[in-house]
Structure 1
Amino acid sequence: MGSSDNPSSKILTVANAFTVMRMLLTCVFLVLFVMDVYRPLAIATYAIAACTDWADGQIARRTQTVSWFGKLLDPVCDRFLLFTGVLGLVIVGELPIWVAILVIARDCYLAVGAFIVRRYRERPVDVVYIGKITTALLMFGFCDLLLGLPVIDGLGICDVSWLPGLNSVGGPVGLLFVYAGCVMSVITAIVYTTEGAAIVRETIRRRSRA
């Protein structure tokens, strides 16, 4: 038995199997998409992989099989899913490269931060709700970009060449969700930084009193 507040040490659980399956499906997607074997199949594979992100969490909580392995592996697989979607779209020229740089740089920053926090507390920082919203926005946006529909005209809000969809250049509506996800990514990084810093300060304070 394992709950969110008291995870178990089990590895072989149904929820963890779904998480590992997400990683494998993501690899299959990238190969199919970049090689342009059959785009609908690549998109379907990515969508199924994205759905397992919801499924493994529900299964773990409802069956009381939340585990440390799952809590550590799940965010890694989420990031891997996002990275491959970003990478595939950048390779085929359908996504501004700055988005890839922002998403990857933000996650590398959080990974380093998590490593530092683990030196002060074994339990990782809990996933915040705004982080789930960020992931949902980016996944929906990337899935829509992969599909390429519906296409909208440029909104003409700005005259910046690297913001297709917001300038005069049209594109899939998923671009707008990706931009929203990028903004939320920055906010999420600030939230995690604040929580991590609080954990470090509290641990140092307790150790100084001991």
Structure 2
Amino acid sequence: MARASDASRVLTLPNIVSTSRVALAIGFVAVDAVPVRLALIGAASITDFLDGWIARRTQAASRIGALIDPIADRLFVLGVVLSYVIGGELAIWQAVAIMFRDVMSVIGWFVARRVSWLRPITFRARIVGKLVTVFQLATFIAVLLAPRWVDALVIVVAVLGVVATVDYTLMLWRERVRTDRTDEAG
């Protein structure tokens, strides 16, 4: 049974803002009107910025929040991509390219948690990962407003996704090596 203090650590404003992206994803799947979809993408973009900003400003950053935020991000992206594929606005190759970084980050998270010789580290957002998100959102808007730009944006997302995957992998490896050296010295 969860205690009240456990609930208060989970039900923080930043976590609620992050979780709202799941509702936005459901709304995106349920509605196909362009203005509504644009508003949902805009709202998701705003909440993606706001959750971290609020957490830092109010010192409400938490481990659970650091987990909720990327899950909500991935669910929103997945909902949008699936909607576009089902609606014929995106080809399968485009969906795979857009989702590459997201799939690799989920795999990386499980590997980092399951491989015993990898010390647990705190994953932090990195600039290239943020760029992937920005270009994913730009691609989602282009599908609705400027379809001729979609192929180019998908390629940018794919390239940035590969770079982000390599960047996060190297960060994990460097942190593991640094932690091993600290353990050996201590």
TM range (shorter): 0.7 to 0.9
In the alignment, the residues of structure 1 paired with residue 12 and residue 134 of structure 2 have an alpha-carbon distance, to the nearest angstrom, of 25
Read off the aligned partner of 1:17 and give its amino acid letter. I
Question: Does the CA-based 8 Å contact 2:55-2:61 persist in structure 1?
Answer: yes
User: In the alignment, which residue of structure 2 is the partner of 1:24?
Assistant: 23
Matched, 1:194 2:165: no
Q: Secondary structure at the match of 1:172?
A: helix
* Aligned residue pair count: 176
Q: How many Å apart are 1:80 and its aligned residue?
A: 1.3
In the alignment, the residues of structure 2 paired with residue 81 and residue 196 of structure 1 have an alpha-carbon distance, to the nearest angstrom, of 25
User: In the alignment, which residue of structure 2 is the partner of 1:93?
Assistant: 88
User: In the alignment, which residue of structure 2 is the partner of 1:166?
Assistant: none
Read off the aligned partner of 1:135 and give its amino acid letter. T
Read off the aligned partner of 1:76 and give its amino acid letter. I
Structure richer in helix, relative to its length? 2
5+ residue gaps in structure 1? 1-8, 151-170
Question: Does the CA-based 8 Å contact 2:101-2:164 persist in structure 1?
Answer: no
In the alignment, the residues of structure 1 paired with residue 18 and residue 104 of structure 2 have an alpha-carbon distance, to the nearest angstrom, of 23
Q: Which moved more, 1:183-192 or 1:39-48?
A: 39-48
1:63 pairs with one of 47, 58, 69: 58
User: In the alignment, which residue of structure 2 is the partner of 1:14?
Assistant: 13
Question: Does the CA-based 8 Å contact 2:41-2:137 persist in structure 1?
Answer: no
The structure with the largest alpha-carbon Rg is: 1
Question: Does the CA-based 8 Å contact 1:125-1:195 persist in structure 2?
Answer: no
Question: Does the CA-based 8 Å contact 1:137-1:177 persist in structure 2?
Answer: yes
2:142 pairs with one of 131, 144, 147: 144
2:124 pairs with one of 123, 126, 139: 126
Question: Does the CA-based 8 Å contact 1:50-1:81 persist in structure 2?
Answer: no
- The 3 A distance-change label for structure 1 pair 58 and 106 is closer
Read off the aligned partner of 2:78 and give its amino acid letter. F
1:47 pairs with one of 34, 42, 45: 42
Matched, 1:116 2:115: no
In the alignment, the residues of structure 2 paired with residue 101 and residue 20 of structure 1 have an alpha-carbon distance, to the nearest angstrom, of 24
In the alignment, the residues of structure 2 paired with residue 103 and residue 143 of structure 1 have an alpha-carbon distance, to the nearest angstrom, of 13
Question: Does the CA-based 8 Å contact 1:114-1:124 persist in structure 2?
Answer: no
User: In the alignment, which residue of structure 2 is the partner of 1:79?
Assistant: 74
Using the aligned pairs only, state the percent identity.
32
Matched, 1:177 2:153: yes
Question: Does the CA-based 8 Å contact 1:102-1:182 persist in structure 2?
Answer: yes
Question: Does the CA-based 8 Å contact 1:26-1:84 persist in structure 2?
Answer: yes
Question: Does the CA-based 8 Å contact 2:45-2:137 persist in structure 1?
Answer: yes
Q: How many Å apart are 1:174 and its aligned residue?
A: 4.2
5+ residue gaps in structure 2? 1-7
In the alignment, the residues of structure 2 paired with residue 108 and residue 208 of structure 1 have an alpha-carbon distance, to the nearest angstrom, of 34
